[in-house]
Amino acid sequence: MNEEAKVEGIKVEIPIYNDVWMDNGVVNLYRFLDGVDGVNVNLKTDTLEFEIAEKERFLKGFEDEIKQKRDSVIFVTEKDDKTGERRNIKKDFVLLQYGKKVEGTNVLKEKIYSDSEISERLEQIFENFVSGVSSCILCGRTYRRGIDKLKQAVYPLVTKIRSLSGVRTLKEQYTELCPLCYPVGSLEWCDDGIIYRVFPTSHSLVFIPNICDFKKLNESKSKWINTVLTGERFSNIRIEF
């Protein structure tokens, strides 16, 4: 049986994490997949289920959705005061690193957001999430082969500083991240339901709901996603007097 046959027809289940970042990430992943062809998706109270019906259509549609969300949710467009040129800048609260500019345009270093690497990264995710011998540090599921390690791009509370989380000092464990937790965490930066307020040169405040019920979480966020400001670098809070 080839890899494509193994991926197509497999039903994937992602249970609730009881973690505010990852649970919001699961609901955000649902919103991604719900608009993609080639996959059947179902959000339950405590589980996200999806079945890949047509691998190639699914991967291409998923890639297009990621690029669209990246450019409209993570990046904003601003005018350079010195040159007068328009440039794309990531919102200040987003803990993703810039990569080397491409034709003068800012790009992100993280592979799932990189035009040149996103396709390969998605292939890796859906070839290696199947059960194996390794155990994930975040969800505990077993998987065939890891594609990345635990880092702030996936889970923002991870740090090298021992006095904070210190997770990354546990080198034997932070490398054990399963292929499904990677997109759940890393794509949460594309969630247009995150409420944020940035204080330049100081700190950022990020508000995401802590609701341990996927359906209620999705319903709650759906009520304000279309009311927050879009395309704003420092805050998407709408203030009315």
Q: pLDDT below 70 — which residues of the chain?
A: 1-9, 160-173, 240-241
Residue 235 lies in a domain: no
Q: Which domain holds residue 17?
A: 3-222
Residue 230 lies in a domain: no
Q: Which pLDDT belongs to residue 34?
A: 94
- Whether pTM exceeds 0.75: yes
Q: Which pLDDT belongs to residue 231?
A: 86
Q: Which pLDDT belongs to residue 82?
A: 77
Q: Which pLDDT belongs to residue 1?
A: 32
Following CA atoms 222, 227, 231, 237 in sequence, which dihedral angle do they give, to the nearest 10 degrees? -110
Residue 164 lies in a domain: yes
Q: How far apart are CA 113 and CA 108, in angstroms?
A: 6
Residue 183 lies in a domain: yes
Residue 240 lies in a domain: no
The number of domains in the chain is: 1
Question: Would you say 13 and 200 are in contact if contact means Cβ atoms under 8 Å apart?
Answer: no
Residue 234 lies in a domain: no
Cα atoms in the Cβ-side hemisphere of radius 13 Å centred on 135: 3
Of the candidates 239, 221, 220, 219, the one whose C-alpha atom is nearest the C-alpha of residue 229 is 239
Q: Which pLDDT belongs to residue 3?
A: 44
Residue 228 lies in a domain: no
Q: Which pLDDT belongs to residue 38?
A: 94
State which H helix or E strand residue 43 sits in: strand 39-43
Q: Which pLDDT belongs to residue 161?
A: 63
Q: Which pLDDT belongs to residue 8?
A: 63
Residue 231 lies in a domain: no
Q: What are phi and psi of 31, to 5 degrees?
A: -65, -35
